[in-house]
Amino acid sequence: MTRLSGWGRFPVVEGFERLSPDLGAACRGVSLTRGLGRSYGDASLPSCVGGEVAATRLGNCILAFDRERGVLRAEAGFTLEELDAIGRPAGWVSPVCPGTSQVTLGGMVACDVHGKNHHRRGTFGEHVTSLRMLVADGRVLEVSPTEEPELFAATLGGMGLTGHLLEVEVQLERVNSPWIAAEQEIASDLEDLVLRLRQASQTWPYTTAWVNALARGRGMGQGVVTKGRWAEPERSPRGNPPRLRRMGVPVECPGWVLGPVSMRAFNAGFYAAHKFKRQRRVMHPDRFFYPLDVLRNWNRMYGRQGLIQYQCVIPMDAEDGVAPITRFFETLIGCGGGSLLTVLKDCGPAGTGMMSFPRPGVSVALDLPMRGRSTQALVDALNRSVLAEGGRIYLAKDALTRAEDFHAMEPRLEGWNAVRRRWDPEGTLKSALSVRLLGDEA
Partner 1 sequence: MKAVLLGATNGLGRALAQEMASRGAQLCLLGRNLQALEKSAKDLEIRGAGGSVATVPCDLLNRECFDRALQDADAALEGFDTVVVTAGVFGTQDELEADLERASDLLMTNFTNTVMFCELARKQLLKRGGGTLCVFSSVAGDRGRKPAVLYGATKAGISHYMEGLDHRYHEEGLSAVLVKPGFVKTSMTAGMKPSLFAAEPASVARTVLNAIHKGKPVVYVPGVWSLVMLVIRWLPRFVMRRVGF
Per rule CB under 8 A, is residue 295 in the interface with partner 1? no
CA distance 55 to 32: 9
Per rule CB under 8 A, is residue 58 in the interface with partner 1? yes
What is the closest distance, in whole angstroms, from the C-beta atom of residue 149 to partner 1 in the complex? 29
3-state secondary structure 135-169: CCCCCEEEECCCCCHHHHHHHCCCCCCCCEEEEEE
Q: Pick the stretch among 63-71, 217-225, 277-285, 339-347 that binds partner 1 (CB under 8 A).
A: 63-71
Q: Pick the stretch among 19-27, 122-130, 305-313, 408-416 that binds partner 1 (CB under 8 A).
A: 19-27
Per rule CB under 8 A, is residue 388 in the interface with partner 1? no
**C-alpha separations of 204 from 173, 182, 185, 313, 358 in Å:** 16, 10, 13, 21, 19
**C-alpha separations of 430 from 42, 46, 85, 390 in Å:** 11, 8, 33, 27
What is the closest distance, in whole angstroms, from the C-beta atom of residue 1 to partner 1 in the complex? 7
* Cβ contacts of 63 within 8 Å, gap of 6 or more: 73, 74, 75, 167
Question: Which region holds residue 112: left if phi is over 0, alpha if psi is between -120 and 50, else beta?
Answer: left
Query: Do residues 140 and 133 make contact, with C-beta atoms less than 8 angstroms apart?
Result: yes
Nearer to partner 1, 240 or 417 (CB): 240
Which residue, 293, 300, 302, is CA-closest to 251? 300
Per rule CB under 8 A, is residue 244 in the interface with partner 1? no
3-state secondary structure of 202: helix
Query: Do residues 315 and 348 make contact, with C-beta atoms less than 8 angstroms apart?
Result: no
Nearer to partner 1, 79 or 212 (CB): 79
Among 11, 12, 18, 140, binds partner 1 (CB under 8 A): 18
Per rule CB under 8 A, is residue 257 in the interface with partner 1? no
Per rule CB under 8 A, is residue 49 in the interface with partner 1? no
CA distance 93 to 90: 9
Rounded to the nearest 10°, the torsion over CA 360, 364, 370, 371 is: -110
What is the closest distance, in whole angstroms, from the C-beta atom of residue 62 to partner 1 in the complex? 4
Nearer to partner 1, 85 or 381 (CB): 85
CB-CB neighbours of 17 under 10 Å = 18
Using CB under 8 A as the binding criterion, the count of chain residues that bind partner 1 stands at 18
Per rule CB under 8 A, is residue 71 in the interface with partner 1? no
Per rule CB under 8 A, is residue 247 in the interface with partner 1? no
Nearer to partner 1, 298 or 329 (CB): 298
Query: Do residues 246 and 293 make contact, with C-beta atoms less than 8 angstroms apart?
Result: yes
Query: Do residues 316 and 324 make contact, with C-beta atoms less than 8 angstroms apart?
Result: yes
Per rule CB under 8 A, is residue 63 in the interface with partner 1? yes
Among 21, 205, 219, 360, binds partner 1 (CB under 8 A): 21
What is the closest distance, in whole angstroms, from the C-beta atom of residue 196 to partner 1 in the complex? 39
Nearer to partner 1, 53 or 131 (CB): 53
Nearer to partner 1, 41 or 87 (CB): 87
Nearer to partner 1, 14 or 424 (CB): 14
Nearer to partner 1, 63 or 442 (CB): 63
Indicate the angle between helix axes 373-389 and 323-334, nearest 10 degrees.
160
**C-alpha separations of 381 from 42, 259, 355, 391 in Å:** 20, 21, 23, 14
Nearer to partner 1, 52 or 320 (CB): 52
Q: Pick the stretch among 14-22, 149-157, 284-292, 352-360 that binds partner 1 (CB under 8 A).
A: 14-22
Per rule CB under 8 A, is residue 1 in the interface with partner 1? yes
Query: Do residues 197 and 210 make contact, with C-beta atoms less than 8 angstroms apart?
Result: no
Per rule CB under 8 A, is residue 86 in the interface with partner 1? yes
Among 7, 17, 163, 173, binds partner 1 (CB under 8 A): 17
Per rule CB under 8 A, is residue 132 in the interface with partner 1? no
CA distance 15 to 18: 10
What is the closest distance, in whole angstroms, from the C-beta atom of residue 20 to partner 1 in the complex? 5
Among 16, 71, 320, 412, binds partner 1 (CB under 8 A): 16
Per rule CB under 8 A, is residue 65 in the interface with partner 1? yes
CA distance 359 to 313: 7
Provide the binding-site residues for partner 1, judged by CB under 8 A: 1-2, 16-21, 57-58, 60-65, 85-86
